[in-house]
């Protein structure tokens, strides 16, 4: 059979299996169970256009992928890495021939096969560098060279598939594999290591670490694509419905749906209702637990000096001496509500701090537990960001029987 | 950057703190310990800082709705954004039709004001879309030129918090993290209103 006839046979076989070939091309190297025209598929496998058997399934060879790329106009001019398996088999076979030629002293064959080995190594090196550069470019530019989102998604998916498989295959193409391929020939080993080892290591690591980035990008593109569809649909819907949106959820639903955004207004008092009984009780206990601030201590010391650590009782007695009559006076005036702060401003401003007096009055009323006097605590936060509160005022009123 | 700065930022009107509009604050809140501290300071206000999914923007939410004022404020805040959805959707549609972005706007999408304006003034259907866009009350203005009208639209979108000016000399804007909230809301509205999708919508990016 002459070459022309052979090509005619290949063409006819490809034509008969064109559907299967398209499927295999789309699967980008993944094995498929194909039963249509098995004889044709086996013939195509003999031509290395596809790989596999009826039992194991068939998958596309790099030759079919290249051909498919060219005929579909997708990436005809891109230089790709040869299929690792095919490449390794071809290289091994050529190296065997080279070693045979060396042993037999056949200079011509030795020169020719060595030249072919150099070419095979260059194909792999070039292919890897080119593909790795393409991967880096795609990630760095986020497929800026591609216009539509749909094409970006397609290209992204293609790259993920391609580099996942290539990365895995390159993992097998390690140092031991290169040593094995050289068949203990020092010339070939040197050639393989000088030209390939570093490139394979670099590209393999780069590809494997780039795949998650590609996956993230794909997810973003798909999300963006869905968002585009949603936006266009809603825009059309709103135009048709005079721009009216019926969605009007209650606050609970707003929260549940994750739309609970609200402004932060720090000039407002604490949003908890401070005047409820529960809060007053909690706040009072907080206030009792609070230690005096250093500036507060200084003022108290000025008013009641000298005060020593062990003179607590003396201090209480002195406070009682000074504040006691005022406490009685407030109680007497309490037939109408009395503001302790206002009382302090009128009578005691020059003698003590408002906090010292108000806190003492509050404490005294609590200790007396009089059912004839009612008091309301007015509290405020110390600052806009603080959860601490202080007693601003106490309103005292007598309780009518 | 500290808790007080974060509180000041939110209380000064920032609704969504993202990597594009407030990069330093976003970086600060992305550290878990800082977020915990900030939330501790907000306890007294019945507020907490939350984050949109997928490491999205931070925003303030009420911790409970027992306080009626909070519930009312929440509803009002939601309604403000919901009522801005139609104008925002119209704006995104304009950017899609102008082919100045490959798909719907996402956080970080750059928008070149001069490029968009150039596309609009070069195509009648985009001029028409712009004139419809400025009929929305959020974008209403008395400008008569496309430049004037588009300028107001951008100003308002910056005010809303959807865009941030990235390069003043070249007038490059960036879409903020708020857009994620808007996209989620659009999807919710589509579901609620049972919006029907046409083939044109599904091939949106192809026909543009």
Q: What residue ranges do the domains of chain A occupy?
A: 3-228, 277-398
Query: Residue B45: pLDDT above 60?
Result: yes
Chain B: closest CA distance from residue A254 (Å): 8
Residues A192/A118, Cβ–Cβ less than 8 Å: no
Query: Residue B201: pLDDT above 90?
Result: no
Determine the pLDDT at residue B200. Answer: 66
ipTM surpasses 0.95:
no
Q: Which residue in chain B is spatially nearest to A230 when comparing CA positions?
A: B187
Q: B134 phi and psi, to 5 degrees?
A: -80, 0
Determine the pLDDT at residue B125. Answer: 93
Chain A hits for B85, CB-CB cut-off 8 Å, are: 234, 245
Determine the pLDDT at residue B20. Answer: 94
Measure the CA–CA gap between A234 and A90, rounded to whole angstroms. 58
Residues 126-145 of B with CB under 8 A from A: none
Query: Residue A336: pLDDT above 90?
Result: no
Indicate if the alpha-carbon torsion angle B120, B124, B130, B133 is positive or negative: negative
- Averaged pLDDT score across all residues of chain B: 90
Q: Which of A223, A245, A263, A274 to mutate to test the interface with B (most CBs of B within 10 A)?
A: A263
Indicate if the alpha-carbon torsion angle B104, B109, B113, B119 is positive or negative: negative
Give this prediction's pTM.
0.57
For the segment A129-180, what is each residue's pLDDT rounded down to a tens digit? 888 888 888 888 888 777 778 888 888 888 888 888 888 888 888 888 888 9
Query: Residue A306: pLDDT above 50?
Result: no
Determine the pLDDT at residue A310. Answer: 41
Query: Residue A266: pLDDT above 80?
Result: no
Determine the pLDDT at residue A57. Answer: 83
How many Cβ pairs closer than 8 A exist between chain A and B?
Answer: 189
For the segment B107-142, what is each residue's pLDDT rounded down to a tens digit? 998 999 999 999 999 999 999 999 999 999 999 888
Counting residues of chain B whose pLDDT is more than 70, the rounded percentage is: 95
For the segment A59-110, what is each residue's pLDDT rounded down to a tens digit? 887 778 778 877 776 554 455 677 788 888 899 999 999 999 999 988 889 9
For the segment A221-242, what is each residue's pLDDT rounded down to a tens digit? 888 888 989 999 999 999 988 8
Measure the CA–CA gap between A155 and A164, rounded to whole angstroms. 14
Query: Residue B204: pLDDT above 60?
Result: no
Q: Which residue in chain B is spatially nearest to A243 when comparing CA positions?
A: B86
Query: Residue A282: pLDDT above 60?
Result: no
Determine the pLDDT at residue A297. Answer: 44
The CA radius of gyration of chain B, in Å to the nearest whole number, is: 19
Chain A hits for B185, CB-CB cut-off 8 Å, are: 259
Q: Which residue in chain A is spatially nearest to B51 when comparing CA positions?
A: A258
Closest CA to A124 of A208, A199, A181: A199
Q: A365 phi and psi, to 5 degrees?
A: -60, -40
- Range B136-152 average pLDDT: 92
Tell which CATH architecture fits domain A277-398: Orthogonal Bundle (1.10)
């Amino acid at each position: 059979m002459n070459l022309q006839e052979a090509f005619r046979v290949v063409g006819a076989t490809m034509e008969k299996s064109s559907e299967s070939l398209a499927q295999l091309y789309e699967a980008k190297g993944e094995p498929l169970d194909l039963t249509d025209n098995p004889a044709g598929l086996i013939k195509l496998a003999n031509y290395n256009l596809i790989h596999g058997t009826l039992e194991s399934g068939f998958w596309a060879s790099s030759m079919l992928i290249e051909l498919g790329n060219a005929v579909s106009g997708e990436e005809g001019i891109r230089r790709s890495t040869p299929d690792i398996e095919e490449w390794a088999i071809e290289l091994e076979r050529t190296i065997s021939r080279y070693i045979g030629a060396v042993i037999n002293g056949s200079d011509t064959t030795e020169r020719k096969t060595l030249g072919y080995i150099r070419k095979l190594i260059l194909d792999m090196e070039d292919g890897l560098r080119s593909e790795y550069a393409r991967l880096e470019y795609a990630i760095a530019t986020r497929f800026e060279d591609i216009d539509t989102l749909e094409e970006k998604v397609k290209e992204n998916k293609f790259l993920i598939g391609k580099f996942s498989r290539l990365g895995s295959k390159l993992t097998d193409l390690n140092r031991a594999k290169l040593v094995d391929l050289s068949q203990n020939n020092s010339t070939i080993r040197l050639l393989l290591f000088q030209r390939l080892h570093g490139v394979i290591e670099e590209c393999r690591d780069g590809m494997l670490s780039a795949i998650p980035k590609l996956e993230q990008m794909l997810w973003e593109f798909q999300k963006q694509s869905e968002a585009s569809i949603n936006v266009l649909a809603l825009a059309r819907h709103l135009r048709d419905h005079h721009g009216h949106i019926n969605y009007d959820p209650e606050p609970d639903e707003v929260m549940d749906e994750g739309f609970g955004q609200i402004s932060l207004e720090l000039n407002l008092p604490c949003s908890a209702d401070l005047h409820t009984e529960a809060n007053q009780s909690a706040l009072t206990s907080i206030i009792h637990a609070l230690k005096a601030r250093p500036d507060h201590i200084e003022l108290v010391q000025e008013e009641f000096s000298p005060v020593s650590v062990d003179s607590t009782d003396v201090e209480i007695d002195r406070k009682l001496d000074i504040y006691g009559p005022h406490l009685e006076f407030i109680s007497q005036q309490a037939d109408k509500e009395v503001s302790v702060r206002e009382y302090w401003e009128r009578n005691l401003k020059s003698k003590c701090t408002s906090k010292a007096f108000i806190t003492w009055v509050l404490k005294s009323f609590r200790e007396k537990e009089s059912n004839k006097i009612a008091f309301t605590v007015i509290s405020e936060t110390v600052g806009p960001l603080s959860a601490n509160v202080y007693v601003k005022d106490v309103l005292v009123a007598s309780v009518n029987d | 950057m500290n808790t007080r700065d974060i509180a000041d930022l939110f209380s000064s009107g920032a609704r969504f703190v993202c990597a594009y509009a407030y990069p330093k604050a976003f970086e600060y809140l992305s550290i878990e310990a800082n977020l915990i501290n900030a939330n501790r300071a907000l306890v007294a206000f019945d507020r907490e800082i939350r984050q949109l999914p997928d490491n999205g923007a931070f925003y303030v939410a009420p911790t409970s709705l027992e306080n009626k004022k909070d519930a009312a404020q929440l509803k009002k805040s939601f309604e403000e954004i919901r009522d801005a959805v139609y104008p925002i959707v119209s704006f995104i549609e304009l950017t899609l039709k102008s082919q100045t972005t490959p798909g719907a706007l996402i956080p970080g999408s750059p928008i070149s004001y001069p490029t968009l304006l150039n596309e609009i003034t070069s195509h009648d259907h985009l001029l028409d879309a712009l004139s419809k866009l400025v009929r929305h009350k959020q974008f209403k203005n008395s400008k008569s030129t496309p430049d004037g009208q588009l300028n107001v639209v951008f100003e308002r979108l910056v005010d809303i918090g959807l865009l941030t000016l990235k390069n003043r000399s070249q007038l490059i804007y960036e879409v903020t993290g708020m857009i994620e909230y808007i996209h989620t809301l659009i999807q919710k509205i589509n579901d609620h209103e049972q919006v029907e999708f046409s083939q044109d919508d599904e091939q949106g990016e192809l026909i543009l």
